[in-house]
Structure formats: C-alpha cells, structure tokens
Structure 1
C-alpha cells in the first residue's frame, strides 16, 4: 500500500483540516474529493498513475472524516471554502480537481464557487442529486431504499452510523468487504482483488468511522436534500467518466450531469464498474487533467 503522507493545518476558524498526498510530491497539483464513507486516503488508488504522469494528488478529509475536525451545519456549497483555504496554505493558486463517487457533488460545488482557480475538472462515477426522485429511482433497490429512508427519517442515519457501529468499523474495517462486493460486476471483483486495492478501501472505512462517523451521517443528509448548487451557473469544461456496468452509482447519474452542465463531456466504458473504472483506467482519466490544463 502506498505510504500516506498525512498532514494538517488550522484554518481561519480554528478547525483542523487534514489531507493526504500521493503521486509526485513536486508535481502538478490535483485536488481530490473522496467518496462516501471514505477519506482522502482513497486517492492511494491513483498513486501509481499520478506518479507516472507527474501529478501531485492532494486529498483532504472532509469535516468529520479522518483527521479533519467536524463542522456542524456544513452544506455542500461550503466545501469550496475549505478547499481554497488548503490551497492557500500550500501556496497553490491554480489546480486541477477530481471528484470520485460521493465526492462528485463536492467537486461540483468547487466548479461553481472556484472557477478562476480550477485548471481542469473531472468527475468519476459521480453520485447524482438523489434528492430528486428521478435520480434516486435509478439506484438499485437496497441503495434507493436506504437513501429514501435516510431522507424521510433522519434518525435512521444516526442508528446506522451511531452506537457501536463506528467503533467496530474503525477497528475492523474489513467487516465491510462482504457488503462492498455484493452484486458487483466481474470487472469490479477483479479490480478489488488485485494488489492493495481492498486494503486501501478498508483503511478509508476506518478513517471515516474514526470520529464517530460524523462526516458520514452528514453526507447522508446532504446528499438527500437540495444541494443548492446552480448548475446553470457552471460553464467551464467538465469531463465525466462512468462505467456502464456500475452497480453502485448507476450511469444514469452521469447522464444527469451531462444534461445539466453546459460544459460537460461524458465518457462511458462498457463492462466497467464503480471500482474497476478508476483502478484500471486511472492513467487515462488523469491524463485528461493534463490535456485540459
């Protein structure tokens, strides 16, 4: 597993923001928005292609995840402020942006609020606005039911990610392996069984639960309520990648982004799933950040 260089700083309001770095330390900066429930350690999946391309992956933990302090009342549209503060702390004026899965909505918020600072934007198998019934309906039944219940009954998220659950998963994150691999396409199973990929994802579960799953509980709420991000105000080019066999986030979500973002360009790959796409096509995806710069 690639070594994770975990760092942190205190922003203007005193909160600690932690981040992980992978790839080329002095390379072209790419900020990475991690999925759900996860942490910036997830960017280790792209360490090798980033290194080969001379890219520096900077992957912060969102509030309540990993080493980052919680931020009660956080909204999706607030995240760009933290990202910009981290960039300022690192002395980086312009940077590329990549959002994967549940990090897609957060990357979208950055595309809206930080247009002058972004050199390129890529969304990989991004979660769509599941607060909209037509987008939620595209999810497979278990995920659709869980998200719908989380929206209607906020106490459910507290029960799912409360009590002993965070404590157990923080100490034995491998417990989620069986759940993660349920109903996955063969390409995903092959990708997860290779190298350290399963171990990397397990470690992000431990990070996500380390602070009592505060970030995960908030994400469930934010994903299922109006994001308040005006897509019609985002005009810069955005590349979107999605696997047609994705059993976690359906390709219909990527098509929603394509249809609502004037600068969107969608690439779909047949037979690829939620995990195989970034793992097997990471270099091709990251190369787009260089081409768009």
Structure 2
C-alpha cells in the first residue's frame, strides 16, 4: 500500500514523499529506488515507474521538490539544496541505501544526491537529463524551445515573467513521444499539466537552478551512473548526455538514437536491471 509522508526538514520546511512501501521479502536487502521527477511534476508516483519496480520487488520513493506537490517552496534553491532535502527525508524515513533515478529535470537532482551523499547512493540513472550549464550558447543547441531556460539566465523574476505568456511548443515532442503519452505514460502528461497549473513556481525554481552552479560537482559522483539519452530528443538534446558522461568518473552513456524526450522512458525497466547489477 502506498503512503504519503510530510517530512519535517531542519529549517522548518516540509518535503512531501510518496512511498510504495517495503521491498518484497526476496529483495529486502536491495537499495530502494528514489525517483526524482521531471519539470514540472507533482512528485506523485507514476504507474510505469512503480510497475517496473514492483516486477523486481523494489520499493520506490518519490519526493516532491520544494515548490511542487505540497512541499514548501524555497525560492532561489540550488540543485544541491533540493538534493539535500531528499537526503534529510531519506534519513528521517530510515532508508539506509538507495539508487537515485532522475528523468529530465530530475536528472541533475539525482546526480547531486549522489555527489552529496555517497554513503547513501549506490547507483544512478538519468533519463533525458540536463547537463550543467557551461555558459555557452552551444548548451541550448537542438532545443525546440529554449525560451524558459534562456529567461532563467535573468533570474527568478525574469523567468516568472516569461511563464506568464509562455505556451508549450508542440514540436518539442516526437511522434514516439506522443505515442507514449497516449499509452502507458499518459499519467505523466496529465501530471505535468496539473503541476504546471498548480505549482508554476516549482518550474521557475528548477529552470533558474539549472542555469546556475548546481552546488554539487559531477566529479564528486563516485557511484556508477547510467546516462540514458534519446538521439531524437528535442527538449534535452543528446549532447547533454555526452556532457554528463565526460564529467562523471564512472559514467556510461546509453544513446537510444530513435527516442525523444518521453519515449526514452521506455528504457526504465532495463535501467532498473542495470542498477541491480552494479
């Protein structure tokens, strides 16, 4: 049975964590999976994430980043700040070890948790994850719509103003992406729409954090990392995966040439198997 925890953080804020519960007996000694959601998302458990883990007897915890899904906002938070919140919550919930898995905007946060808490994180998977901003225009290359991230360079207020009139660019997704959203991952699309409407500040804070120093270095991620990137991704292009692997001490790139930003999530079951083997 799934549960929701409202975890008290050291500074008085609250972090909402969704939890599928304990492992099956056969896998009780394996690390839990900590799912770091994309931008925007509520943090609620997604059916394909849970189903693939359940088939392997694994527990999934899904924290809602500050500003999303009932977690207290923290304007100006860095990627490392959000990851530290997750570390505190896992300690409070008595989770001794985990695998950090992040999709899209969750990728940086999964990596930051591994950098900050090597005692806790055994392995990492990023799917369509964002690479650290390097200050060059090339970082934006291949994005169908880079307006939000470019606006974020001007700070939180500039990103908020952009969001007041911004509309989703439908060319950001491929035919394969739309097929996924019409099928098994429909819940992700519904949740993203809800999160964008109810918690727009969460997306603003994410975008600003992505184009500023993360507060955690890729070089400090000692756990093995599988970087899964779609070659046809028009949201976070393939070169972000290449940038990530270049900076990681133990990174492995799995490039899926035909996948877009959503369809790459079809790799999740095999990525779970990869984690269990590290």
The TM-score range, normalised by the shorter chain, is 0.7 to 0.9
Give ranges in structure 1 of 5+ residues lacking alignment.
166-175
> Are the equivalent residues in 2 in contact too, given 1:243–1:277 (CA < 8 A)?
yes
Partner residue, 1:26:
23
Q: How does 1:94-113 map to 2 (within 5 A)?
A: 94-113=97-116
Find the counterpart in structure 1 of residue 6 from structure 2. 8
Is residue 155–residue 208 contact of structure 2 (8 Å, CA) maintained in 1? no
Distance 1:110 1:135 in 2: 27
| SS of equivalent to 1:40 | coil
Task: Give the aligned partner of residue 231 of structure 1.
Answer: 218
Give the structure 2 partner of residue 210 of structure 1: 198
The Cα RMSD (Å) is 2.4
1:34–1:42: 8 Å Cα contact kept in structure 2?
no
Contact 1:11 1:85 in 2 (8 A): yes
Show the counterpart of 1:189: 178
Shift in Å at residue 254 of structure 1?
0.3
Q: Which runs of 4+ in 1 moved over 6 A?
A: none
Q: What is the DSSP-based 3-state SS (H/G/I as helix, E as strand, rest coil) of the residue aligned with 1:66?
A: coil
- C-alpha spacing 1:201/1:224, structure 2 compared with 1 (3 Å): same
2:135 alignment counterpart:
132
TM-fit CA distance, 1:110:
1.0
Instruction: Normalising by structure 2, report the TM-score.
Output: 0.87
* 1:122 Cα offset (Å): 1.1
Deviation, 1:151, is 0.9
Find the aligned partners of 1:231 and 1:153 in 2 and give their Cα distance.
23
TM norm structure 1: 0.83
Q: Find the counterpart in structure 2 of residue 270 from structure 1.
A: 257
Q: Quick one: distance in 2 between partners of 1:216 and 1:131?
A: 20
Query: Quick one: which of 214, 224, 234 aligns to 1:247?
Result: 234
1:76 maps to what in 2? Answer: 79
Q: Are residue 288 (structure 1) and residue 246 (structure 2) matched?
A: no
Distance 1:21 1:261, change over 3 A: same
Q: Contact conserved, 1:131 with 1:225, CA < 8 A, in 2?
A: no
1:120 aligns with 2:123: yes
Structure 2: stretches of 5+ with no match in the other structure:
25-29
Distance in 1, Cα, partners of 2:11 & 2:172 = 43
What number of residue pairs does the alignment pair up?
272
More helix by share: 1
